[in-house]
Structure 1
Amino acid sequence: MGAGRSVVNHPLRGATAVVGIGQTPMYKRGTSPDPEMKLCLRAIAEACADAGLSTADIDGFVSYGADKNDPPKLAPALGVRELRFSALNWTHGGGIPGALGLAAAAIVTGQAEVVVVYRAIAESAGQRLRVAVAQDDTAAQYLVNGIDGPAQICAMRAQRLIEAGGVPRETLRAMALASYFHAQRNPHAVAFDKPLDVATYEASRWISEPFHLFDCSRESDAAVAVVLVSAERARDLAQPPAYLLSAPTGATAGGAGLEESHTPYGSANFAGVARRLWAESGYRPEDVDVVQVYENMTGMGVAALIDHGFCTPETAGEVLTFDNLIAPGGGLPVNTSGGNLAEGFIHGMSLVTEAVRQIRGTSCNQVPGAGLSLMTGGPGDPLVSSALFATEDRR
């Protein structure tokens, strides 16, 4: 842990907090007993109950990644008295923390008072996630070149990170092993009671080099929701608040919608977002106690940690080791519920609930004294975002 934050006067810094979290069970892709809308309603109702609020109190909704569960349908099903704000953040998994930022902005500007941020997926009610969020103008460019899945796209970028950036391939393995290690203590994880060792990882089939099977996330059917209110209101509710210090969204000139022409090619496009995150929060990477990093594939998770300043390509092999990435003893505990790889993949939204649990002190892999909890969105997206949560004493 570093020396502590510098003084920052930013209108959103610590002005709102997550006070409720809700999450349905993780079902194997296509096997949910409930349709997507019902999963979504269940997660939102659970988040409200967790906070000690009624679903009727909700007056704002925010999602991302082409979520089809639109607020005009959710509001009457939840008994909402008045819908005052709704928004959908651009881009795919990169938009999760940015959705939190939208919710915070709505609360601070008086557009809403109780805002739920959510994501729901059930393949039986829709399409494969990668199809549902595909942008038609870019999908064709990939398909004509024989690229028909995110693993292949991420593999090209990860291979550049390894070959040109000098990042050891073992850092990818360390992230996968850490995720599966944490999942063994999370009975809700899809990889619970399915430990992973080095030999099994290395013997698993290639998906797209440098990715083995266990480097890749698995789509699940589930829904996740969190409830945000003002910091003042949060103090009177049922759970310890997880204060939102910063949640910027954006892209640098070398990223945005440039597909495979973005620069630097091996990055996760977080350079500008990370710079703003640390400036707005007043903290630095060395102050953070635990990280939930979106890893659709391990290589992109490694790139995101580098982009946020936790290490450089030159020091990645020393920092991103299995022992350093696990709780409770590691210096940089990552994906303490199992993450997208081993807990389940709901477009990354379950990383938010785990980031909040670490602030509450209720994680199944709790980091002792966790006061700053970082969550990073989908790496490599045209727009990306990150969010930093804090306890009362670190606010």
Structure 2
Amino acid sequence: MTNRTLRGRVAVVGIGETAYYRHGQSPDAEFKLALKAILAACADAGLDPREIDGFASYSDDRSEASRLAAALGIHRLRSATMQWGGGGGGCAAAVANGAAAIAAGLADCVVVFRALAQGQHGRFGQVGGIDTISGEKAYLMPHGVLSPPQRFAMRVRRFMHEHGVRQEALRAIALASYHHAQANPRAVMHGKPLDAAKYDASRWIAEPFHLYDCCMENDGAAAIVLVAAERAKDFAHKPAYLLGAASGSGFRAGAHPHNAPRYASAGFDTVAPDLYAMAGIAPADVGVVQSYENFTGGVAMALAEHGFFEPGEANDFLSLENLVAPTGRLPLNTSGGNLAECYMHGFELVLEAVRQVRGSSTSQAARSDVALVIGGPMVTPASDLLLASENVL
């Protein structure tokens, strides 16, 4: 192993979040939500917020680093990174970028965060920017392909057709997320259980997606605190160490319009091998997964591309009993994920991975020393993150 790795060099020592709201219902502005989550993460770590010297985010988060630094009274700002493109595909890459700044000596304490107030800035689930049609939309909108469910449904339908994947596999993913949300009082869908009959009876959004195959739209913010590994034990909680990280995309993954060579793909064909190579582990070593659900079909595709099963085995592997903690073969989205905890653009998945490594999840997996976060599928660039306890290093 060379020094060109993040394995074991950086740790998460604090996590924090606001209350989560249905879209448009936050009483606070987006910037205030970001500050609340950052302060909560610092409090969790037992850290003076003025010691932060770096910020990292993704998907053009509007809470600018310099403005955050001023509001928090930070002594000096040394690093500010933003992951380009990919929507929620960048949630793991933002952590990697913050960790890379620490490993390179560009910062000592980086906060990675995401904040959303859709009542203030508009809904993610509706089509915007249509006054002037250009780029990909110029090819799609004349055919009525407008919204994210319509665009991604075609990729998933191709995957299901090519590999004989049934609707029940997608249903199991939704049921697992809702099952875990019932144990999580933070979850927006806590107290609102889902069963197979309710899933089957729900309306179609864009086949093969029922209502419960689609992520929620929420307001709130979430943040983590990163420091160098040698400092990790100086803080209040058990650290979660960065075991591996990867981001990017394969050949012509961003080709327009919808003609990428690997169309029925979640986009992890080049990313997952890089992740495992840095971490020095195999899929069998992963005990629990937090996988971004913009739509359940993308989760099925992503799990296959990370080596947990062959695509043709999806129907057998993706059952509710295999996906629930503590006893499932691969506990999935143990806080409820984008479907049932909240849609914090996937960043809540990173916090839940930290909780699993700490042993403090509301649905703790039997094996949680290695936790995988899979960023948004079917976008480019995509990203991945592996967190682990000290005994894995």
- TM bucket (normalised to shorter chain) is over 0.9
Q: Using a 3 Å threshold, how does the CA distance of structure 1 residues 111 and 283 change in structure 2: closer, same or farther?
A: same
Within 1, Cα distance between the matches of 2:119 and 2:369?
40
Partner of 1:110: 105
Partner of 2:136: 138
Within 2, Cα distance between the matches of 1:349 and 1:255?
23
Within 2, Cα distance between the matches of 1:259 and 1:284?
35
Q: How does 1:89-100 map to 2 (within 5 A)?
A: 89-91=83-85, 92-100=87-95
Q: Using a 3 Å threshold, how does the CA distance of structure 1 residues 151 and 27 change in structure 2: closer, same or farther?
A: same
Partner of 2:23: 29
Task: Indicate if the aligned counterparts of 1:17 and 1:231 stay in contact, CA closer than 8 A.
Answer: yes
Partner of 2:77: 83
Partner of 1:123: 118
Partner of 1:268: 266
Within 1, Cα distance between the matches of 2:314 and 2:334?
20
State the 1:258 CA deviation: 4.1
Within 2, Cα distance between the matches of 1:63 and 1:140?
29
Task: Indicate if the aligned counterparts of 1:258 and 1:382 stay in contact, CA closer than 8 A.
Answer: no
Task: Indicate if the aligned counterparts of 2:288 and 2:331 stay in contact, CA closer than 8 A.
Answer: yes
Q: Which moved more, 1:220-229 or 1:141-150?
A: 141-150
Q: Using a 3 Å threshold, how does the CA distance of structure 1 residues 116 and 257 change in structure 2: closer, same or farther?
A: farther
Task: Indicate if the aligned counterparts of 2:288 and 2:367 stay in contact, CA closer than 8 A.
Answer: no
State the 1:261 CA deviation: 1.1
User: After superposition, what is the alpha-carbon deviation per residue over 1:225-250, rounded to whole angstroms, capped at 9, x for unaligned?
Assistant: 01100000112111111101111111
Q: State which of 53, 56, 63 in structure 1 corresponds to 2:50.
A: 56
Matched, 1:189 2:159: no
Q: How does 1:1-395 map to 2 (within 5 A)?
A: 10-91=4-85, 92-130=87-125, 137-395=135-393
User: After superposition, what is the alpha-carbon deviation per residue over 1:61-108, rounded to whole angstroms, capped at 9, x for unaligned?
Assistant: 010011111111111101111000001101111111111111111001
State the 1:147 CA deviation: 1.3
SS in 1 for 2:312: coil
State the 1:52 CA deviation: 1.0
Aligned residues: 389
SS in 1 for 2:270: helix
The alignment's C-alpha RMSD in Å is 1.6
Within 1, Cα distance between the matches of 2:384 and 2:53?
24
Q: Using a 3 Å threshold, how does the CA distance of structure 1 residues 243 and 283 change in structure 2: closer, same or farther?
A: same
Return the TM-score normalized by structure 1: 0.95
Within 1, Cα distance between the matches of 2:163 and 2:261?
13
Within 2, Cα distance between the matches of 1:258 and 1:114?
39
Q: Using a 3 Å threshold, how does the CA distance of structure 1 residues 358 and 123 change in structure 2: closer, same or farther?
A: same
Within 2, Cα distance between the matches of 1:183 and 1:107?
34
Q: Using a 3 Å threshold, how does the CA distance of structure 1 residues 224 and 257 change in structure 2: closer, same or farther?
A: farther
Task: Indicate if the aligned counterparts of 2:219 and 2:344 stay in contact, CA closer than 8 A.
Answer: yes
Q: Which moved more, 1:305-314 or 1:162-171?
A: 162-171
Within 1, Cα distance between the matches of 2:11 and 2:203?
43
User: After superposition, what is the alpha-carbon deviation per residue over 1:166-209, rounded to whole angstroms, capped at 9, x for unaligned?
Assistant: 22221100000000000100111111111111111000000000
Task: Indicate if the aligned counterparts of 2:371 and 2:387 stay in contact, CA closer than 8 A.
Answer: yes
Amino acid at match of 1:115: V
State the 1:124 CA deviation: 2.3
Within 1, Cα distance between the matches of 2:2 and 2:293?
30
Amino acid at match of 1:129: F
SS in 2 for 1:224: strand
State the 1:382 CA deviation: 1.5
SS in 2 for 1:292: strand
